[in-house]
Amino acid sequence: MTKLTGQALLDYCAEHYEDSKTNLVRGAGYIKDNGKTNYVEFYTAKMQALGTFKVPQPILDDEPKEHGAYIECLESDDGRWIDLDVVTTVEEIESAIETILHGSVDYTVTNWTGIPSFLTSEKPDWSTIVEYLDTKENNDKDAYQAICEYHCQVLTEDEFSDIYRGNYSTEAEFAKNIEKNIGEDSHLHNYVNWQDLWEGEYKSEYVSIKHSKGYYIFGCSY
């Protein structure tokens, strides 16, 4: 399938602005060899078409803004950060590491930003980290990170979609949302303690993860 670029890509995006993000990217031809949606390449091509693209810097002296790994050479103790929002494939990561090592083969990762602790180690599995970041980018980022950390496991996009029930200000709000037959116009509404309903009926069936503004709610299985 041909990847749209330039004005053809911009015209396609304008014509299909109501499409979901996934359908838009795939419809424009940005699909990886493994069949997954290639969001990074799509948005890079779109920025190039708009004339706003700037060549990113994958290797940094300062700490990356969101996701990064500090690569330290064991032979010299020299080290630098790599930006995992810029180097987005295993091949690109390995190439950035080779640039830092200057011919050395021994390195360790001594610090991280934005990567869940269950994925971090001195010798990480880069393919799993790439999968995590790729899937996180395509979904509700904070909710996806929260449930992966909860299970200490990288969930696929389908697994996340199957269990994510939404973001609620309270657990009681979620319980009230389920019991839509007891609406605001029902006289029963005034007699229901929604938090008690959550505790007694739904707490065992769902996972509730508190965050700064409320709760992410998930089904227990995927």
Q: Where are the alpha helices (DSSP H) in the chain?
A: 6-15, 21-27, 39-50, 90-101, 126-137, 141-151, 157-163, 171-178, 194-197
What confidence category does residue 184 fall into, taking pLDDT thresholds of 50, 70 and 90?
Answer: low
Amino acid at 21: K
Amino acid code (one letter) for 213 = K
Say which residue the tokens 């880069």 belong to: 126
- The DSSP output letter for 199 is I
The pLDDT of residue 129 is 96
Rounded CA-CA distance 55/44 in Å is 10
* pTM score, whole prediction: 0.71
Q: Residue 59: its pLDDT value, please?
A: 86
Tell me the sheet residues that pair with 68: 83, 113
Q: How does strand 206-211 pair with strand 107-113?
A: unpaired
- Average pLDDT (56-81) is 86
